[in-house]
Copies of this chain bind each other. A is one copy, B any other.
């Protein structure tokens, strides 16, 4: 079954009104792996220019609140969204040069996290774990000009 149909059924089952605008927005959103709010606005308005910016933001907020999309703050740049509906939990590895994003799973880290929160008497609700580096290609390319990304912290650089 198409991914957007599942999402639409999920929304309907929660008593959320399925308007034409929302359907369009959901269908465009699932076509991306990752996207920014403004990218989605542009994309949707390319197909139907009558859809207001506000509607895209509102729908994105709705999808976020209902757990259909996840919001990622990759460094440098506006937040990034991902339709995680019916998708296994994963974390991200990003190339700071070309922007490639790789999704990885690491149950061992999840396990250690549990130990950490227990240590401080916390109840774990969620987490983010992002790795930044250079992919094989970019490592061998001499950047033509300085990237816009700020210099890395001395302490952050892993030997």
B-contacting residues of A (Cβ < 8 Å)?
61, 64-67, 70-71, 73, 75, 84, 87-89, 93, 95-96, 102, 104, 106, 108-110, 112-114, 116-117, 119-136, 139, 150-158
Asked whether A156 lies within 8 Å of B65 as measured between CB atoms, the reply is no
Main secondary structure of the interface of A (DSSP, over half): mixed
Please give me the residue from chain B that is nearest to A136 by CB atom: B121
Q: How far is the CB of A115 from chain B (nearest CB, A)?
A: 9
Q: Given A67-B154, A153-B67, A153-B70, are A123 and B116 also a contact pair (CB < 8 Å)? A: no
Asked whether B158 lies within 8 Å of A125 as measured between CB atoms, the reply is yes
Report chain B residues within 8 Å CB of A139. 123
Q: How far is the CB of A100 from chain B (nearest CB, A)?
A: 9
Report chain B residues within 8 Å CB of A119. 104
Asked whether B123 lies within 8 Å of A127 as measured between CB atoms, the reply is no
Report chain B residues within 8 Å CB of A75. 71, 73, 128
Report chain B residues within 8 Å CB of A84. 153, 155
Report chain B residues within 8 Å CB of A95. 122
Q: What separation, in Å, do the CA atoms of A110 and B126 have in the docked complex? A: 19
Q: How far is the CB of A92 from chain B (nearest CB, A)?
A: 10
Asked whether A93 lies within 8 Å of B108 as measured between CB atoms, the reply is no
The contact of A109 among B93, B109, B124, B136, by CB within 8 Å, is B109
Q: How far is the CB of A111 from chain B (nearest CB, A)?
A: 10
Report chain B residues within 8 Å CB of A106. 112, 116
